[in-house]
Amino acid sequence: MYRSVFGKVLVRQLLLAFRRPAAVLNPLFFYGVVVLLMPLGLGPQQSVLSQFAPGLLWITALLAGLLSAETIFRGDYDDGALEQLLVSGESLYLASLGYVVAHWCLTGLPLALFSPAFGQLLSLPDEGLGTLAVSLALGTLVLSAFGCVGAALTMALRRGGMLLSLLILPLEVPVLILGAGVVERAVNGMPVDSLISILGGLSLLALALTPLAIGSSIKISLEV
């Protein structure tokens, strides 16, 4: 029915998520709450908010990806599904890719789709809204990929949460810089095509390479 293990993992993860619809909305709720904190912390002046909006919106996306990453493998590790995956001899590379894409569909994609609304809340000028959505859609692929690497390395550890942030946030620095930078350029009316292409290139690179690391890390975690 599902020929490749990639499709199987993807369908599985999506179906599992939609069995608990609240879980799908959690990243969006998180995003909304953090956006609410910004004017409370920085003051309500539109000029201040709009100046910091690109960076704030991107940092929040990083945190949303981080918080949701911890649970990527948790269930499958606890109930033995990962064990069965490893024993089956299926391609761990394709399975890992499935986990990355599933995580992106459940966090990055909805964030990107709703980001123009969040941008409005932080007085991001209209010129930046489209670029914000596109850059988030591409950049969160990288975030999901690194999130999966970190989650695969820490799933067997008792205190994985804080460790996970130390492992993956430094790796995500380029995405934050590019993402926030490209939105800022769009706001200032500068061309953004080349930077968007670089972001796209980074996400392809991450999609191609990180499954290798994720697969090996799953093997290690199952031995613990």
Partner 1 sequence: MFSQLDWHVKSGELWQIKGDNGAGKTSLMRAIAGLAPQSLEGRLSVLADFLFLGHKAGIKSDFTAIENLRLHLGDAQNGDERQLNDALATVGLADYRDEYAYRLSAGQQRRIALARLFLVDAPLWLLDEPLTAIDVDGVAIIEACIDRQVRNGGSVIYTSHQPLKLQLSTSTLHLRGKGQSPYVS
Partner 2 sequence: MAWTWFHRLGSSPWIYRFSGQLLRYLLPLAIVLVVAGSVWGLAFTPPDFRQGNSYRIIYIHVPVSVVSLAGYYVMAIAGAISLIWRLKVADMAMRVAAPIGAAMTFLALLTGAVWGKPTWGTYWVWDARITSMVVLLFLYLGVFALYEAYDNKALASKACAILSLVGTVNIPIIYKSVDWWYSLHQPASIKFTGGSTIDPSMFYPLLLMIVAVYCLYTCLLLMGLRLTLLETEAKTAWVKKEILGES
* Using rule CB under 8 A, residue 88 touches partner 1: yes
* Using rule CB under 8 A, residue 12 touches partner 1: yes
* Using rule CB under 8 A, residue 64 touches partner 1: no
Q: List Cβ<8 Å contacts ≥24 apart for 185-188.
A: 185/131, 186/127, 186/128, 186/130, 186/131, 186/132, 187/50, 187/54, 187/124, 187/125, 187/127, 187/128
Q: What is the DSSP string of 23-48?
A: HHHHHHHHHHHHHHHHHHHH-S-HHH
# residues contacting partner 2 (CB under 8 A): 28
* Using rule CB under 8 A, residue 87 touches partner 1: yes
- Name which of 108 and 160 has its Cβ closer to partner 2: 160
152-187 burial by CB neighbour count: b if 16+ within 10 A, else e?
A: bbbbbeeebeeebbebbbebbeebbebbbbbbbbbb
**How far apart, in whole angstroms, are the C-alpha atoms of residue 132 and residue 125?**
11
- Selected binder of partner 1 within 95, 122, 186, 192 (CB under 8 A): 95
121-180 positions binding partner 2, by CB under 8 A: 146, 149, 153-154, 157, 159-160, 163, 166-167, 169-171, 173-174, 177-178
**How far apart, in whole angstroms, are the C-alpha atoms of residue 190 and residue 183?**
10
**How far apart, in whole angstroms, are the C-alpha atoms of residue 40 and residue 36?**
7
- Name which of 7 and 44 has its Cβ closer to partner 1: 7
Q: What is the nearest approach in angstroms of partner 2 to the Cβ of residue 137?
A: 19
- Selected binder of partner 2 within 1, 22, 40, 224 (CB under 8 A): 224
- Selected binder of partner 1 within 61, 64, 85, 151 (CB under 8 A): 85
* Using rule CB under 8 A, residue 40 touches partner 1: no
Please name the residue that has the structure tokens 């492992």. 167
* Using rule CB under 8 A, residue 137 touches partner 1: no
* Using rule CB under 8 A, residue 35 touches partner 2: no
Interface contacts to partner 2, rule CB under 8 A = 146, 149, 153-154, 157, 159-160, 163, 166-167, 169-171, 173-174, 177-178, 181, 184, 202, 209-210, 213, 216-217, 220, 223-224
